[in-house]
Structure 1
Amino acid sequence: MYTTINESGQLNNYPTEPEMYYAAYPNQEQQSRYALQGAIATLFVTAIILIGCGVS
């Protein structure tokens, strides 16, 4: 950990930064899985909204 001291005696601690890397583009299987998850989430939110409207 990198530490500095300013004029008033306060310490500033700086963490070590992780090495950066580029994300890999998802393959066809991952893309279809993301689409399925999005569809399920949309149905779930729609159902919650409709149930909320029906109860009120």
Structure 2
Amino acid sequence: MYTTTNEEGILNNYATEPQLYYAAYPDTEQQRHYAFLGAVATLFITALVLVALGVS
């Protein structure tokens, strides 16, 4: 942690910044996994909407 003091004696604490890195583009296996999760989420939301419409 980095601390400074101004002319009035007030302390300022600064957090250390994390090292930056660039995200890696997902490979084909990860892309297939994301597509599968999206399809499952779409089916789940569709089922919830249909059940809500059926109950009401």
| TM interval, short-chain normalised | 0.7 to 0.9
Q: Please give the alpha-carbon distance, in whole angstroms, between the structure 2 residues aligned to 1:42 and 1:11.
A: 52
Q: Please give the alpha-carbon distance, in whole angstroms, between the structure 1 residues aligned to 2:4 and 2:12.
A: 5
What 5-or-longer segments of structure 2 have no aligned partner? Answer: none
Aligned length: 56
How far residue 14 of structure 1 moved from its aligned partner, in angstroms, is 1.6
> Residue 38 of structure 1 corresponds to which residue in structure 2?
38
> Residue 17 of structure 1 corresponds to which residue in structure 2?
17
2:21 maps to amino acid? Y
DSSP 3-state at the match of 1:35: helix
> Residue 29 of structure 1 corresponds to which residue in structure 2?
29
> Residue 53 of structure 2 corresponds to which residue in structure 1?
53
TM-score normalised per structure 1? 0.82
What 5-or-longer segments of structure 1 have no aligned partner? Answer: none
Across the aligned residues of Structure 1 and Structure 2, the Cα RMSD in angstroms comes to 1.6
Q: Larger deviation: 28-37 or 4-13?
A: 4-13
1:50 maps to amino acid? L
DSSP 3-state at the match of 1:23: coil
